[in-house]
Copies of this chain bind each other. A is one copy, B any other.
Amino acid sequence: MDDIDRRLVSLLADNSRISLHELSKKVFLSPPAVSSRIEKLEKSGVIKGYSLRLDLEKLGYSFVAYIELTMEPEQKEKFVDFISENPSVLECYHIAGAYSMLMKVCFDSSSKLYDFVGKLQKFGKTQTQIIFTNIIEARNPRP
């Protein structure tokens, strides 16, 4: 993991469909060299996959929110099962402090968000923060 790898990660994070040829010009290496570096980054798990930047609103998800849930530790297993099955949960993190989870969720109506929060209440105490606008969207750390 050297500076060239970091630059490759940064370039791919920006546009993961860039060709090896373009990449090779930018990092002053040959395409096969770039290819083998990317392969190593994938195998080592630095690159976990190739994804999209989506416009959730244009996809019909007008209600995007972060929800913090504070619960008793013994609830965890049932909670993880619950959210794993629930595609409205886009991200979920176990955070420090009181036993808490932070989730990013998306819904196409406020009533569905309301219903979801209601179901979460069974696991613990929630605090919901609805997103108004994206100031900075999912960018990646600098090389």
Chain A positions near chain B (C-beta within 8 angstroms): 1, 6, 9, 12-17, 44-56, 58-61, 66, 68, 80, 83-84, 87-97, 100-103, 106, 129-142
Contact = CB atoms under 8 A, between A and B. Distances in A.
A102 B90 contact: no
Given A47-B53, A53-B49, A55-B48, A131 B94 contact: yes
A61 to B, nearest CB: 6
Contact of A15 (B12, B49, B84): B49
Contacts of A55: 45-48
B47 A93 contact: no
Contacts of A92: 134-136
A46 to B, nearest CB: 5
The 3 A-B pairs of least Cβ separation, nearest first, read A87-B142, A92-B136, A48-B53
Nearest to A60: B1
Contact of A96 (B50, B84, B132): B132
Given A59-B141, A66-B102, A91-B137, 17 more contacts: A45-B55, A46-B54, A47-B52, A47-B54, A48-B52, A48-B54, A48-B55, A56-B141, A66-B95, A87-B141, A89-B136, A90-B140, A92-B134, A93-B131, A94-B133, A96-B129, A96-B132
A83 to B, nearest CB: 6
Given A9-B59, A136-B84, A50 B91 contact: no
